[in-house]
Amino acid sequence: MTIGLKNISRAESAAHVPEVLDVHVVLLTAFVAPHKLPIYEALARRVRKLTVLVSTAMESNRLWQPEFGNVDVQVQKTLTFSRPRRHPHGFEYPLYVHIPWDTLSHLRRLRPDVIISHEFGFRSVFSSVYKMLSRQTPLIFWAGLSEHTEKGKGWHRYLLRKVLLKFANNVVVNGDSGGRYLQKMGLPPKRIFRFPYATIPSKFDDYTPQRDPDVSQRLLYVGMINECKGILPFLQGLALWGEQHPERDIVFDLVGDGPLRKEVAAFPVPHNVHLKLWGHLDYSELADRYENAGIFVFPTMKDDWGMVTNEAMNAALPVLGSVYSQAVDQMIVHGKNGWRFRTDHPDEVTSAIDDALSTPHAALLEMGQAAKQRIAHRTPDYAAQHLVTAILAAREDRS
């Protein structure tokens, strides 16, 4: 099911959108992630004023340093707690709950023309209360979710979301799966707008793949090393493949850190499979890893999108990834610009690994170029344009 096609076409037509909207937008979110900052900066250029309210400068499990660029970012007074949550597929992940208790006072002070609230938590509850008190203020929810990420969330969260959706003029989602989830909750398709995650401008923007054959099948993973990312099931498949192909040497680079790092480092792989753990790298060092790899691996068990997929495709890498990432599910075509699998199906993992590592060098270069072409239009300005379209629709709905 494809959602919001009418809305998408409007977003792609600059003729329908003023160059700068005469509105003050207040966007509420947990923190400013590096891949979202260029989008916020692009949105700030398209509206009279943008204020971003964050619950925390950065969550404690993130390795990023807070960076706000030229965006007006204000850190709220927030109560935060975290607890482990277990997904129905058996893996555990941390759930952070932020209660930005001064949200109403911020909104009364700022008097926004439009509110964009990220996720269906306390900030969206407070934003809905403000809308009740000021019915002329359009409210947009930005829902980073998919059908798979929301499994096992419980009936109480489902009911809260049903209530909150009554206050929203429209909802922005990352992908089609998120749209289907909201439609199942009764939200009309005309109120669902797409937000395409953009690729951070980098050295690969004008890159033409010229990788040498000796790195064309070198595997690369970038991200947290935890249960959620599906690294251990992938390693089981890779170890099996290595045993079945003793004549082949495979290098697998893993960039990132997390609670499973020691377990991954000690994972029993055959002699011809070489694991190299690089730890956390900054963006300049990370670019070298992308350039010296041939296939990007993303075996996640649960991701509402997966920005590293965008980055890898921009670096002209075919993606060997899990469809439990909306980025893989929507942008990767098996055998064309990557290979797809379900991480909790070992036979699919092993088959996809075999397809990837059996692909000749020349074909890998072509697949990498196809991946780059598929992601090329997803710039920060393109993403901001979609948000502007949602803002315009919300204001029209108010009137």
- pLDDT tens-digit readout, 91-118: 676 777 899 999 999 999 999 999 999 9
Per-residue model confidence as pLDDT tens digits over 200-257: 877 777 777 778 888 888 999 999 999 999 999 999 999 999 999 999 999 999 999 9
3-state secondary structure of 340: strand
Place of tokens 């075919």: 318
Is residue 343 within 8 Å of residue 299, measured between CB atoms?
yes
Tell me how far the alpha carbon of residue 122 is from its chain's centroid.
21
CA distance linking residue 122 with residue 126, whole number of Å: 6
pLDDT for the residue numbered 3? 42
Residues 6 or more apart in contact with residue 104 via CB below 8 angstroms: 126, 129, 130
pLDDT for the residue numbered 83? 75
Q: Quick one: which of 314, 295, 162 has its CA closest to 241? A: 295
Bridge partners of 173?
143, 194
The pTM assigned to this predicted structure is 0.89
CA distance linking residue 251 with residue 354, whole number of Å: 15
Bridge partners of 143?
173
pLDDT for the residue numbered 137? 93
pLDDT for the residue numbered 200? 81
Residues 6 or more apart in contact with residue 149 via CB below 8 angstroms: 302, 303, 304
Tell me how far the alpha carbon of residue 288 is from its chain's centroid.
22
Q: What letter does residue 130 receive in the DSSP assignment?
A: H
Residues 6 or more apart in contact with residue 399 via CB below 8 angstroms: none
pLDDT for the residue numbered 135? 72
Bridge partners of 29?
54
- Sign, CA dihedral 317-319-320-325, equals positive
Q: Which residues of the chain have pLDDT under 70?
A: 1-18, 87-88, 90-91, 93, 398-399
Residues 6 or more apart in contact with residue 135 via CB below 8 angstroms: none
Cα dihedral: 146, 148, 150, 155 (round 10): 130
